Amino acid sequence: MTRLAFAFVLLLGAPAFGAEVAGVQVADKVAVDSRDLALNGAGLRTRLFFKVYVVGLYLPEKKRDAAAVLAEPGPKRIAIHMLRDVGADTFSEALVEGLKANHSQAEYPALEARVKQLEAIMAQVQEAKKGMAIALDWAGGATRVSIDGKPAGEPIAGDDFYRALLRIWLGEHPVQDDVKQALLGGR
């Protein structure tokens, strides 16, 4: 009986994890601007046969429809956990590819200055190293980037920019179809 009680106490004190993806424990909840967000889903981004990163999507309440996520006005987080070292240029190029794939030639120029701002933040980091945690947060007004829990660069204005970032993973032409499904709570 004592062992059972001890095990119960350990479980209560242990952090809760929402998922394990490629050996990475993904938290079931995070806070953005003091608002609790729940893990909507998490997936593994691969390139060729390399595991690149685990990505998680956090929302105020779970949603299974990409359009509903994109329309959601409240706080959100895209959490990226790097599984390999990737140079800042390569990381930025991949983001730009994802943005361009989900925006027309007429839409992209409106994002370009803010894309450059994000590229400058990544250039300061120099390399997205294995184990690094990158968070892209929306809490209203601006996209905030943090690296390993510390703010990086200046906030990037506009909810249209954050929606554009979300389209990298949730758009009509996502970076990887199974990652889109995983972020939307599917398999």
Helix (H) or strand (E) holding 12: helix 2-13
Please state the domain extents for the chain. 16-183
The answer to whether 139 and 125 are in contact (CB under 8 A) is no
CB-side neighbour CA atoms (13 Å) of 104: 2
Q: Write out pLDDT tens, residues 95-105.
A: 899 999 999 99
Q: Which residues pair with 55 in a beta bridge?
A: 43, 80
User: pTM for this structure?
Assistant: 0.87
Q: Write out pLDDT tens, residues 25-68.
A: 999 999 998 899 999 999 999 988 899 999 999 999 999 999 99
Region for 87 from its dihedrals, namely left if φ exceeds 0, alpha if ψ lies in -120 to 50, beta otherwise? beta
Q: Was domain 16-183 assigned CATH 3.90.550.60?
A: no
73 CB neighbour count, 10 Å cutoff = 9
CB-side neighbour CA atoms (13 Å) of 35: 15
The answer to whether 173 and 101 are in contact (CB under 8 A) is yes
pLDDT-based confidence at residue 5 (cuts at 50, 70, 90): very low
